[in-house]
Amino acid sequence: MPVMPTITIHNQPLFYRQYDRDADPARPPLLLIHGAGGTLTHWPPQVRRLPRTAVYALDLPGHGKSAGPGCTTIEGYANVVASFIQALDLPPVMLAGHSMGGAIAQEVALRFPEKLAGLGLVATGARLKVSPVILGGIQTSFDATIARIAQFVYSPNVTPEMRAEYATHLQQTDPALLYGDFAACDAFDRRGQLAQVQLPTLIICGTADKMTPVKFSQSLHDELPNSELHLINDAGHMVMLEQPVTVAALLQKFLGTCVLRK
């Protein structure tokens, strides 16, 4: 059974789940960071329960079961993640982030590289420009904008039920928090800076991703000197939910190549 504790970071109680049964101490822990408006449940069980791996999945401030407020910048979230690693006294981790979580992972890699053994960048980019239609719509037409986002995040292959479940989740999110997340993404730009990141990096993108298209991941791969890129056919922005077995297998294999630095 997973451990489901809370920890206080920057005076805020944060919820996380810990899965470490049968973990190999020679393998780096895996820390999973969700995207804008998300929770740790956006990482499917196949990813959260990787064999022989200590996995930690965090609800960012204001998200899921973690206390608010949320952060308003990627840098702010990166500080929380770095403090979380330090508070749990973890060895260098493989930090995997989806979408906004991928931006957070890049920021941690740039500012706190000693805390990491590797990076996993899932459906993200070095620049995360957000459509003004989405940013403005969250403030003025919340339900209609949520419906629009739910159409964009999945490939055409998913069931209407999956789309409806995603929309229901976002509708339960504080509009101010969701706007803050998307505004933080919109302000994020680390293009031209990632060449200094020497960490081994796994980049994953669905070929049908409309939110962060393949060209975003290709640009990451071109700039990060120690990276590998994997495209997953017929998957959209929520690639880990559409193809959980494939994403879990890629993470599992990649973790086997990461050296746990003391």
Confidence of residue 25 (pLDDT cuts 50, 70, 90): confident
- CB count within 10 Å of CB 76 equals 17
Q: Which residues 6+ apart lie within 8 Å of 152 measured at CB?
A: 210, 211, 236, 237
- CB count within 10 Å of CB 245 equals 10
Q: How many residues appear in the chain?
A: 262
User: Over 90: is that where the pLDDT of 138 sits?
Assistant: yes
Residue with tokens 């330090």: 86
At 212-221, the pLDDT tens digits run: 999 999 999 9
CA 142 to chain centre: 23
> What residues does each domain of the chain span?
6-128+188-255
Task: Give the DSSP letter string of 63-115.
Answer: STTS-SPPPSSHHHHHHHHHHHHHHTTPPSEEEEEETHHHHHHHHHHHH-GGG
Domain 6-128+188-255 has CATH 3.10.129.10: no
What's the pLDDT at 4?
65
At 91-130, the pLDDT tens digits run: 999 999 999 999 999 999 999 999 999 999 999 999 999 9
Supply the pTM of this predicted model: 0.96
Q: For residue 55, what are its two tokens?
A: 């996995």
Q: What CA–CA distance (Å, rounded) separates 5 from 14?
A: 8
Q: What CA–CA distance (Å, rounded) separates 85 from 130?
A: 29
**243 exposed, middle or buried (CB, 10 Å; 0-12, 13-18, 19+)?**
buried
Q: For residue 38, what are its two tokens?
A: 């998300």
What's the pLDDT at 63?
96
At 65-77, the pLDDT tens digits run: 999 899 999 999 9
